Chain A
Amino acid sequence: MRKKAMLWLVCCMLIGAAILTGCSQKNENGQGEGGKVKLTAIITKHPLTKPLAEMEWLQAAEERAGVDIEWQEITADWGQKKGAMLASGDVPDLFVGPNVITDADIAQFQGLFQDLSELMEHAPNVQKMFEEKPLTKVIATQPDGKIYGLPKYQRFWPQSATRQYINHVWLDNLGLKMPTNWDELYEVLLAFKEKDANGNGDPNDEIPMDWPGGIGGYFNAAHLLGSMGITLSDASGSGYFAEDGQVKNFLIDERYRTMVAFLHKLYKAGLINTEVFTHDYTKYQAVARGEGDVAKVGFTWGWVASDRFGPQLASQYTSMSPLKVSADYTGPLSWSYDSYSLNYGVNHVVMSAKTKHKEAAMRFINELYDPVVGIQVLFGSIGPNIQDHGDGSYSVLPPQDSNMDPGTWKWTSSWADNGAFYISDTIKLELGSDMQEVLEQSEPLADVLNQVDLERDVFPSLIIKYTTADNNTLGLNNTNVMNLAETMFAKWVTEGGVEAEWDSYVAEMNKAGLMKNLEIMQEYFDAYLADQ
């Protein structure tokens, strides 16, 4: 009898042990220490960014949300990794990063991502952002009304990414006036070319005018189109812009022909860098930074002077207002309106539909969208990176490492622009020197940009969400269009011939799909305008 009992005891012990092992494993999976919910997440961060474990604000945010997140920090090849990960369905609870999961991904992997509108009650800060900045809700919402990814809003970025700079020291050296129209510009550049503008004794080492190459995009010569009233939208990389509710492409616009002819005139006169179409960005930047205190470039475009010309030469350059096409031009002037792409970003945080702790994950997201957390996501923790004045106002502190520029310091210290956050228009924050410089140098553009009709004259590519089919059509056509446009632009600028070849060019552009694209985009733009 006793022995039977012993046998049972042994059996029970074995079974018990098995169950205990099972339970303890389950526990490890489910709850972290202190009852915190364990979550997993992926962030695509800048290679400079320090490990997330060292970010004080993040630890505090996780603490407040009652979560313990295991971060996977990705700095490269996200595109490749993402494809395999989504296809396998083995995804983390959260994704963070700029457009970390695209609308195309969401369309392709139906059901893999969580509709966050269902969980909005757990995220009052996100609700507040949607109220205060309705555009954030617009760009977050899919055509079917669901919200899979939340946008960021970073408020402080200027309306345009591109500023126009001229070396005022050279102007002074040569006794020239600040040009106000293309003809004056031509004269000034010609003087830069022919005379020893930088005063180093070599009259031939000055490059009067330079841009990164090709047509379209930030810092591009296409910004001269503003001189004829074209408002570029997010720098109009493929030429598309809006004018009075009409979607247009400047690549087949007469004003573009005028500009190309002007550029050829400059090129022919040797006023444009001969490598403008063949140099890479590093060389473009390196050339502008000159040699020591000797500047090499007279007129160009860039983000901010200190970055474009280096700290040593930055002071020689002045930000200019848009030029008029001619002295007698009376039409409106414009510039590139980039505020959407600079201040907003879509799909900066996405949740997996498979996460077991959706409410906890949403609590954490809500923490990120607290404006006080938001400034820390962007610039770094209160303490080392931001000073809290205690009266509701804050200042971004200069880099602790004096050798580091403020931009790099920001990217090192926090998620920076890659993060998901909301910086409300009401929070009082004094920016760092780099941002102040950007805003300062944006002043000359302010008058022009403030006149822009943001509804009818800006094509809101960020807001408009195409169907996958339309997206594919647009992409394919644009490749054809741009191949032709780039080739012809380079040819016309260097060799001339725009006048003779224009009509056949326009016909070929339309054939390449430009007309079709304009039709599609007009449809969406009309719908957008109807909603306003």
Chain B
Amino acid sequence: MKNTRVNLLSKFLISYLLVLFFPIVIFLGYYYSYSTKLVEEKEMDWNDHIIGQFMNSMDIFTSYVYDLPAELIANREIKLYMTDESDYQRIIVANEMRKYNATDAFIYNTMLYVKSVGYFFAKTGSVYHIEDFRKKGVGYVGYVYEDWPVEAMVAELNALTEPRVRPVEDVIVPGNNRLRMLTFALPLPLGGENSPGALLIMVEEQTIARLIRSVSEAYTGHFYIYDQNGQLLFASEHEAYRAPTLSSQAAQRHLANDSHGSKIVETDGERMILSQIVSDKNGWRYVSVIPLEDTLHDIRTLQRNTLLLLISVLIIELVIIYISIRNNVHPIKRLVQNALDVFDINKPDKMNEIETIRYALDHLSAANSTLDERVKRSMPVVRDNLLYQMVSGHYADWKLFTQEAAAYGIQFTYPLASVAVIHCRTGDADLSSITEWLREQEHKLPRQMNGYFFKSVYLHELLFVCSHTDDVQPEMILRNIRSMLAEQLNVQSMIGIGSPQPAHAPEAYHHSYLQALRAAEHLRMHSEPGILKFDEMSATRMSSFSYNGDLLQSLELAILKSEAEAIRAIVKRILESMAGGGLAPHAVKAIYLNTIGVIIAGLQRFQSDDQNLLALATAAIDNRYSLEQMMTILEDSCNKLCELIQRTIPEVRAASAESIIAYIEEKGTNPDFSLQMIADHFGMTMSNFSYHFKKTFGQNFKEYVDKYRMQRAIQLLRTTDDPLETVARESGYTNTSSFIRTFKKMVGTTPGQFREANRGSD
């Protein structure tokens, strides 16, 4: 029971969860598998975009840088050949240099180197001499490259014929501060080897890093710039300049690969997004490396959180659904319990609630249909019973009857009432088919008649009851039906018809029924098939049989006296009178019944086998017999009785003194113990037994019995405190005062005094 409930619960839970879970799982499954990939692709696109943007910005700046020498040469105020002429010329150049501040945000400093004077004209308006770069310590005034000694610098600048870029390195700037700079060394476009000077442009590492951030605040990866020869110019992580880091290794490895765009690479087991782009301005390669984990961290967290959220939601749902289902299951449980109580379910495998209920419902409907069938079957029976009750005169009230009868479609609307008894000589089975057939005939009755056929309580007997008008003769109709019965069903029948009575009272039908019964009886007695109306048989009923009463009394006496010969003689005379004719059938039957009753009573006296006797009595009384059959039964049972009587007589003579005493001791205190009783016991007449007793015991039977009873009473009075009534009953007296009277006569005191006296002596 518990098991099945859990089954149903879990079944519900699973189905609810599936409804909830399934779509979410599908969404999540889709989302999970694609979101990571999508994020990767997005990120790669984004990185492409960022380095593209970054490259564009850098290109703008670098192209400015590359154009600057030509621009400076084009400036007419800057007369390089004059710089050694006068201080003012230098000031002019210095002031002109100030104007090249358009890219201050990008360029830390621009210095125009003039070979002839060894001066560097900075765009800040300051002028440095080559000697300033040489000074050490606190005296640092110019820009000092630690890895680019002044001599090497000057030599290189003097010989410069094409642009050179120095990777990011430490530079000591005025004020003794160390900055990390990317340095461009550019020749002036004129003169080649004999060029008047060169341009030194410094870009702070920070500025480049900031540029990346300005493209995207959220950018977290590592960034590298390589020149066209694959030399690392800039790295977003300081360590990468000295020794390759994980990211720079990845960037380095893919340098040879000329492809633009992003891809996912793996270095030392770490997956990274590598995006690169090559500038078509200067051939620089911009590489971005982002560890994939960093990128995916957010989406991973999101995924994990979503999952956790989902699980917790499911758990809460589970609890809520479980609770609500448990509430809902209660009525179902009771239903199931009821079903189980009503239908004893003994299927081998356990069923859950639904199956149980289905099973119960199946059974219910099955039971319902059988019941229905039974009710349908019992309808005619009830109808028949109703009609039979009516014709038997059991309905005192006509109204009551019509009400009840209406439910079965029975109505008697016409002024005359007639009843007929149809007697068919067939077996039981045929009778029911005949009944069926007759019922169909009900519908073919004429219009001025309501008529109904039904079975009587007697075998082979059908009844027809009808109300009709004067115009209709039931006899004609029944005659017709009788001939149809004979033709169609091959059934011979006898039909007795009662005379029409004024209708609308049960008595009318009852009366007619009795008449029909007698008519039918008459026909049966004489075994003549046909139709007989009661009116027509009135001629046969006149002689009487007063003499029967005497014969029955004699028979009883003979049986009592156990005189077998006398019994036979009397029965023979009764049979003769029955066979003699001139008696009405009911009279014959009455004689038969009385006689058989007496005989059976006699048999009862001599036979202890009650079962056989009962069967005999039932067979003898209940069935309707023809005259011959009755006479045979009477003869047979009479013979049997005589046989029994002759067998029992010798036993009676053997009633000894011991057996009499034993019998008295056994039954003597019974209140209904009597001389008759004991005489019957020993198969004697009372007078014979009385005589036999006095001869055997020398005293009167009554005296003996009274004495025996007093002894019993005295014993009770002595040993018990029972009230006198009880003592009297126990001693065989129904009447206490007669007990007291007898006690006083025989003992001399009343039982009360006797009990007082005896108690005193104790």
Chain A positions near chain B (C-beta within 8 angstroms): 3-4, 6-7, 10, 14, 267, 274-275, 277-283, 286, 289, 486-487, 490-491, 494-495
Contact = CB atoms under 8 A, between A and B. Distances in A.
A283 B133 CA distance: 11
Given A7-B320, A10-B320, A277 B138 contact: no
Nearest to B126: A280
Interface stretch (B85-93, B397-405, B452-460): B85-93
B334 to A, nearest CB: 16
B323 A486 contact: no
A4 B127 CA distance: 89
Interface in B288-327: 316, 319-320, 323-324, 326-327
Contact of B124 (A3, A6, A267, A280): A280
Given A10-B316, A10-B319, A286-B141, A279 B126 contact: yes
B94 A278 contact: yes
B174 A277 contact: no
B323 A3 contact: yes
Contact of A278 (B86, B125, B316): B125
Given A10-B316, A283-B141, A494 B91 contact: yes
Contacts of A275: 127
If over half of A's interface residues share one DSSP class (helix, strand or loop), that class is named, otherwise mixed; here it is helix
30 contacts: A3-B323, A3-B326, A3-B327, A6-B323, A7-B324, A10-B316, A10-B320, A14-B316, A275-B127, A277-B91, A277-B94, A278-B90, A278-B121, A278-B126, A278-B127, A279-B127, A280-B122, A280-B124, A280-B126, A280-B128, A280-B174, A282-B141, A282-B175, A283-B126, A283-B128, A490-B88, A490-B91, A494-B86, A494-B87, A494-B88
Contacts of A279: 126-127
B132 interface: yes
Given A278-B94, A282-B174, A282-B175, A491 B88 contact: yes
Contacts of A495: 86, 88
Contacts of A487: 95
Contacts of A267: 87
Contacts of B316: 10, 14
Nearest to A283: B141
Contacts of A278: 90-91, 94, 121, 125-127
Contacts of A277: 87, 91, 94
Looking at A4, A6, A14, A275, which has the most chain B CB atoms within 10 Å of its CB? A275
Contacts of A274: 87
B139 interface: yes
B132 A283 contact: yes
A277 B90 CA distance: 9
Contacts of A14: 316
Nearest to A3: B323
Contacts of B128: 280, 283
A396 B90 CA distance: 47
A10 B319 CA distance: 9
Given A7-B320, A278-B94, A279-B127, A289 B88 contact: no
B549 to A, nearest CB: 86
A283 to B, nearest CB: 4
A490 B124 CA distance: 16
Looking at A14, A274, A283, A491, which has the most chain B CB atoms within 10 Å of its CB? A283
A286 B138 contact: yes
A87 to B, nearest CB: 15
B126 A486 contact: no
A490 B95 contact: yes
Contacts, number: 63
A7 B127 CA distance: 84
Interface residues of B, number: 30
A289 B137 CA distance: 13
A491 B86 CA distance: 11
Nearest to A282: B174
B204 to A, nearest CB: 12
Interface in B232-269: none
Given A7-B323, A495-B86, 16 more contacts: A6-B323, A267-B87, A275-B127, A277-B87, A281-B174, A282-B140, A282-B141, A283-B126, A283-B128, A286-B135, A286-B139, A286-B141, A289-B138, A486-B95, A491-B88, A494-B87
A279 B91 CA distance: 10
Contacts of B327: 3-4
A487 B323 CA distance: 92
B398 to A, nearest CB: 61
A491 B140 CA distance: 29
Contacts of B90: 278
B88 to A, nearest CB: 4
Contacts of B141: 280, 282-283, 286
A126 B94 CA distance: 48
B72 to A, nearest CB: 17
A278 B119 CA distance: 11
A5 to B, nearest CB: 10
Contacts of A486: 95
Interface string B62-96: 00000000000000000000000011101100110
A10 B322 CA distance: 13
A487 B88 CA distance: 10
Nearest to A76: B206
A286 B139 CA distance: 6
A289 B176 CA distance: 15
Contacts of A3: 323, 326-327
Contact of A283 (B125, B174, B326): B174
Contacts of B121: 278
A281 B141 CA distance: 9
Interface in B728-743: none
A224 B138 CA distance: 30
Contacts of B91: 277-278, 490-491, 494
B691 to A, nearest CB: 93
Contacts of A4: 327
B476 to A, nearest CB: 80
B327 to A, nearest CB: 6
A10 B138 CA distance: 75
Nearest to A491: B88
Contacts of A289: 138
A162 to B, nearest CB: 21
B255 to A, nearest CB: 34
A4 B327 CA distance: 9
A378 B90 CA distance: 43
A283 B129 CA distance: 11
The 8 closest A-B pairs by CB, nearest first: A278-B127, A282-B174, A280-B126, A494-B88, A283-B141, A490-B91, A278-B94, A277-B91
Contacts of B323: 3, 6-7
Contacts of A286: 135, 138-141
Nearest to B125: A278
Interface string B34-75: 000000000000000000000000000000000000000000
Interface in B612-643: none
B377 to A, nearest CB: 51
Contacts of A280: 122, 124, 126, 128, 141, 174
Contacts of B175: 282
A107 B185 CA distance: 46
Contacts of B176: 282
Nearest to A492: B88
A24 to B, nearest CB: 20
A174 B126 CA distance: 33
A3 B138 CA distance: 85
Contacts of B140: 282, 286
A275 B127 CA distance: 8
Contacts of B324: 7
A334 to B, nearest CB: 29
Interface in B710-760: none
Looking at A3, A7, A286, which has the most chain B CB atoms within 10 Å of its CB? A286
B321 to A, nearest CB: 11
Nearest to B210: A77
A280 B122 CA distance: 10
